[in-house]
Amino acid sequence: MKLTQDQVQTVIRRINEVSPHGIVCPICGQRHWNINDVIIESREFQNGNLIIGGESAIIPFVSLNCTNCGNTILFNALHLGVVNRNTTNNNVENNGR
């Protein structure tokens, strides 16, 4: 899912709230990040099987990349407020149960 400009602004605001002095890259020490413009997801491991729907948990993330070394960090999109828990599939960060 592509982030809207409003969602990008929400990401920036929320990250600034929790890290007012900026995020230091743990690899290279820089503080310059790019926000990827899509929401990605992580699925519950199912022993190598791809389960779509059903009992498989899904967690949406917004990723940031360090502009110096490429290190990537993930922020939970639900926690940031760019994905609404009430309007998503029940499997999103609910362990599918």
Q: Which pLDDT score is estimated for 50?
A: 79
Q: Which pLDDT score is estimated for 61?
A: 97
Residues 4 and 1: their CA atoms lie apart, in Å, by 9
pLDDT in tens, 34-62: 999 999 999 888 888 877 777 778 899 99
pLDDT in tens, 57-76: 889 999 999 999 999 999 99
Alpha carbon of residue 58 to chain centroid:
12
**Residue 87: Cβ-neighbour burial (10 angstroms; 0-12, 13-18, 19+):** exposed
Which residues on neighbouring strands pair with residue 52, listed in sequence order?
Answer: none
Residues 42 and 94: their CA atoms lie apart, in Å, by 13
0.85 surpassed by pTM = no
Angle at 31 between CA 27 and CA 34, to 5 degrees: 95
pLDDT in tens, 1-25: 999 999 999 999 999 999 999 999 9
Query: Which one is predicted more confidently, 45 or 93?
Result: 45
Q: List the domain boundaries for the chain.
A: 5-80
Q: Which pLDDT score is estimated for 89?
A: 56
Residues 58 and 19: their CA atoms lie apart, in Å, by 26
